[in-house]
Amino acid sequence: MADTSYTLQARGICKYFGEHTALQDIDFALRPGEVHALLGENGAGKSTLIKILTGAYHPDAGEVLLEDRPVSFRDPLHAQAHGIGTVYQEVNLLPNRSVAENLFLGRQPTRFGMVDKRRIEREATELLARYGLDDIDPRAELGAYSVAVQQIVAIARAVELSGKVLILDEPTASLDRNEVEKLFEVIADLKARGLAIVFITHFLDQVFAIADRVTILRNGRLIGTEPLTEMSRTDVVRMMLGKDISFSGGTSAVGEREVGELLVSFRGTGRTGSLQPFSLDIHKGEVIGVAGLLGSGRTEMARIMFGIDPADSGEIRLNGTPVSIQSASDAIAHGFGFCPEDRKADGIIGDLSVRENIVIALQGKLGWFRALNRDDQLEIAGRFAEMLDIRAASPDMPIKLLSGGNQQKVILARWLATDPGFLILDEPTRGIDVGAHAEIVRTINRLRDDGMALVVISSELDEVVAYSSRIVVMRDRELVAELRGENINPSVIVQAIANQSDEAIAS
């Protein structure tokens, strides 16, 4: 199709952060009057691309064209003035101010130097009515309304200010079904008015319900842009998860191996509003792989298992005895360990040394009065640094100076030092280099052979397949399938995630 029919175009976009390639040669084109879904797992580059389109970042290579003219935006405000409005998942409005003020802030009409409140309120009422919000009081505090209303107010503001391109960054993440429908009506209206809409989400149903085309990113690379009419759900999931899912010898080598005795057992464990009850038995010497898309409930499951968000239904048994896990300290006391997904935010303590980061969980377990002295700490740190091949110049080096892979190994070492019986790893290999990746996979295999029970969450299908004894598949905050034996292979997992072939996932 000719270039002239695009509202917004990005060509050959590259973006690097130091050594890390965030985006490599991305082309992205947006037509007027289309809803264009942008998909990809965490770290795929969606948000970097959006930030480049809205001027928050500047590309290291490539160009952005708005209505065929090259543009370079200083910041999101500049982009907004040129027609590109963005609405984020956490609504970037002011909950402490009135709805009307949120719609007009920065461009309030004034009379004799005073803000003309009456006119703003009248215009706000008219504007809201156009978005189907005719019983909203424009004088009420925005924070008094639901997130859905706030989203629509944010959309109304963005469209009024910009009017060419609307970028919706996970707008539906915290909405219920009715609210999503309402939002979709608004989106359909805007589409009919000729706006070009970018829709980012991780709910596939919603993509198929509203979007015309889809662009899929993976690890900073463009996997493809396709009309949705020609795609099945399996195709989409495959593009998101697999570089190339025509696997050779995909079936797991460990699937048939004998496992030890039952260690932990979850029976109807769930948490209202977070995860449907699930049941799962985990044996010693077993790795349970958890597969599913972002937002499918993978991380929620890990958090419930570890007591960060305690379960409110079902029971947990350890060695056959019911135990209560209401907090992370309960979990640690029972010999659980957990390496969280977001290393920087939840894992490392950046300014402390490698040694301190390793012993901190062990010290927590020992309590206040049995302090580990420096020699003990060094001994422990040294032992694990060697075992996991942690490359640090000295154990007293601040952990924030280490590479991502080495940080991940330190966190793994932290939990191994507490000698856990049951270890939960959430995306242990995300964003780390190939060498560290191999080391972590080797460690997982070794721990399993040593008789530890592990739950490993990963979106790298080849990887999960390689070390898992069993795989559970999550979809829409529910455990939907348990795969074992020859069903542990990427294509079955993809089908289970996409929910397309029911007989294939019956285990």
Partner 1 sequence: MNRSLRPLAATTIIFIIAYGLSVAQFPNMFSTRVLGNFLTDNAFLGITAVGMTFVIISGGIDLSVGAVIGFTGVLVAVLVSWFSVHPLIAFAIALVVASAFGALMGCAIHFLQVPSFIVTLAGMFLARGAASVLTQDSIPVNHEFYSFISTLYIKLDGGGRISFIGGLMLLVFVIGAILAHRTKFGSYVYALGGNATSASLMGVPVARTTILVYTLSSFLAGLAGVVFSLYTSAGYPLAAVGVELDAIGAVVIGGTLLTGGYGFIFGSFVGVMLQGLVQTYIIFDGSLSSWWTKIVIGMLLFLFIVLQRVIFSSSAPKLKHVRKLKHE
Question: Where do contacts with partner 1 occur on this chain (CB under 8 A)?
Answer: 76-77, 80, 92-97, 101-102, 105-108, 110, 113-115, 117, 132-136, 140-141, 143-149, 157, 178-179, 181-182
Q: Alpha-carbon distance 20 to 480, whole Å?
A: 35
Q: Which residues contact 279 (CB under 8 A, 6 or more apart)?
A: 265, 266, 267, 268, 269, 314, 479
Q: Which is nearer to partner 1, 80 or 443 (CB)?
A: 80
Q: Which is nearer to partner 1, 110 or 279 (CB)?
A: 110
Q: Which is nearer to partner 1, 94 or 397 (CB)?
A: 94
How big is the CA angle at 321 (ends 315 and 324), to the nearest 5 degrees? Answer: 45
Q: Which two tokens stand for residue 58?
A: 């500047």
Structure letter (DSSP) for residue 477 = T
Q: Which is nearer to partner 1, 101 or 463 (CB)?
A: 101
Q: Which two tokens stand for residue 174?
A: 């915290």
Bridge partner residues of 84 (DSSP)? 165
Cβ–Cβ under 8 Å, residues 200 and 224: no
Computed from CA positions of residues 241, 246, 248, 251, in that sequence, does the dihedral angle turn out positive or negative? positive
Strands 275-283 and 321-323: unpaired
Q: Alpha-carbon distance 67 to 70, whole Å?
A: 8
- Residue 505 CB, shortest distance to partner 1, in Å, is 33
Q: Which is nearer to partner 1, 117 or 383 (CB)?
A: 117
- Residue 143 CB, shortest distance to partner 1, in Å, is 5
Element at 315 (helix H, strand E): strand 313-318
Cβ–Cβ under 8 Å, residues 498 and 204: yes
- Residue 178 CB, shortest distance to partner 1, in Å, is 6
Q: Which residues contact 438 (CB under 8 A, 6 or more apart)?
A: none
- Residue 189 CB, shortest distance to partner 1, in Å, is 14
- Residue 106 CB, shortest distance to partner 1, in Å, is 4
Q: Which two tokens stand for residue 170?
A: 């996970």
Listing DSSP states for 8-77 in one string gives: EEEEEEEEEETTEEEEEEEEEEE-TT-EEEEE--TTSSHHHHHHHHTTSS--SEEEEEETTEEE--SSHH
- Residue 101 CB, shortest distance to partner 1, in Å, is 6
**SS3 state of residue 204:** helix
- Residue 78 CB, shortest distance to partner 1, in Å, is 10
Cβ–Cβ under 8 Å, residues 292 and 497: yes
Element at 209 (helix H, strand E): helix 204-210
Q: Which two tokens stand for residue 277?
A: 């009850």
- Residue 212 CB, shortest distance to partner 1, in Å, is 23
Q: Which residues contact 52 (CB under 8 A, 6 or more apart)?
A: 10, 13, 15, 23, 58, 59, 64
Among 434, 438, 416, 433, smallest CA distance to 425 is for 416
- Residue 167 CB, shortest distance to partner 1, in Å, is 13
CB atoms within 10 A of CB 333: 13
Strands 470-475 and 286-291: parallel
Residues listed for the chain: 507
- Residue 53 CB, shortest distance to partner 1, in Å, is 15
Q: Alpha-carbon distance 484 to 6, whole Å?
A: 47
